[in-house]
A = this chain, B = another copy of it.
Amino acid sequence: MYVAKSPLSDADQKTVSEALQGALVDLVDLSLVAKQVHWNVIGPRFRSVHLQLDEVVDTARQHSDTVAERASTLGVSPDGRAATVAQSSGIGKTPEGWIKDADAIGVLVDALGAVITRFRERIDATGEADPVSQDIFIGITADLEKHHWMFQAENG
């Protein structure tokens, strides 16, 4: 049976694993939610929101890869399958069908807000256990919070 050598103690390994798995699910779902809105948004700000959402998708996809490979690096099998994402994501239910631009922005403000709260907790939880993983969470949070600001500013 394959066991990669982890530089962490068992307890730290457990802490960090949970944080990474949770982060993976949140980021994969964020990429799917942002694409869903990207396709369904309507209204005067259609083009602007449509383009902005693809930047969120890029951020989410890139970071989900980093987080999943960090889990593998620590010897923990990551799980980013659709059913897992559907069941354990920290993002609330996305409405189906066409969505007006102002509502689209609201969906993203909420989704990003929920994910950021959980990432802040992961930063706190992993500093002792693994500063390398913590540093990855810090960098992702910076990006997510910047997107959060931009959507809030649009409803400002």
Instruction: Please state if B81 and A7 are interface contacts (CB–CB under 8 Å).
Output: no
A47 interface neighbour in B29, B48, B70, B136, Cβ under 8 Å:
B48
Q: Which residues of B contact A41 (CB under 8 A)?
A: 153
Known: A46-B156, A69-B149, A113-B5. A81 touches B138 (CB 8 A): no
Instruction: Please state if A94 and B116 are interface contacts (CB–CB under 8 Å).
Output: no
Instruction: Specify the chain B residue showing the minimal Cβ separation from A120.
Output: B7
Which residues, 47 to 66 on A, are CB-close (under 8 Å) to B? Answer: 47-48, 50, 52, 61, 64-65
Instruction: Please state if A82 and B86 are interface contacts (CB–CB under 8 Å).
Output: yes
A8 to B94 CA separation, bound complex (whole angstroms): 27
Interface of A is mostly: helix
For A60-84 the 0/1 string (1 means CB < 8 A from B) is 0100110011111111011111110
A2 interface neighbour in B42, B75, B81, B83, Cβ under 8 Å:
B42
Closest 10 CB pairs of A and B: A42-B156, A2-B156, A73-B149, A82-B86, A83-B86, A82-B85, A86-B86, A46-B154, A46-B153, A39-B68
